[in-house]
């Protein structure tokens, strides 16, 4: 998440012209800066999804695997798919 706060700060404090931006403009600017940040700092890419899929298969095949491990990997994989859809 490094750089995210800086991106939000830039979006919030950007000034175009002499007028102080209103709340809607500030939020819009923040959304834009976050979008730029996310494109350069993708938390989950195709490689990460493939790694999570393999880890899920290993846990499912392992008789010693716990439900907690299974749930953790499943949640991470679902998050990765959601992030992938956003791009």
Residue 5: Cβ-neighbour burial (10 angstroms; 0-12, 13-18, 19+): exposed
> Based on the domain organization, do 52 and 75 belong to the same domain?
yes
> Based on the domain organization, do 19 and 35 belong to the same domain?
yes
Residue 15 belongs to domain spanning: 4-40
**Domains contained in the chain, number:** 2
From the list 35, 43, 49, the residue with the least C-alpha distance to 7 is 35
pTM, two decimal places:
0.50
> Based on the domain organization, do 19 and 34 belong to the same domain?
yes
For 9-62, how does the pLDDT look when each residue is reduced to its tens digit (9 = 90+)? 999 998 777 788 889 999 999 999 998 887 777 666 778 889 999 999 999 999
Which of 20 and 1 is assigned the larger pLDDT? 20
> Based on the domain organization, do 50 and 81 belong to the same domain?
yes
Give the mean pLDDT of 60-67: 89
């Amino acid at each position: 998440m490094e750089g995210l706060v800086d991106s939000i700060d830039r979006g919030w404090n950007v000034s175009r012209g002499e007028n102080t931006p209103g709340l809607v403009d500030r939020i819009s600017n923040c959304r834009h800066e976050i979008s730029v940040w996310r494109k350069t700092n993708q938390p989950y890419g195709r490689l990460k999804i493939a790694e999570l899929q393999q880890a899920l298969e290993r846990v499912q095949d392992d008789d010693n695997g716990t439900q907690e491990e299974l749930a953790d990997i499943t949640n991470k994989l679902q998050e990765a798919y959601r992030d992938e859809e956003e791009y």
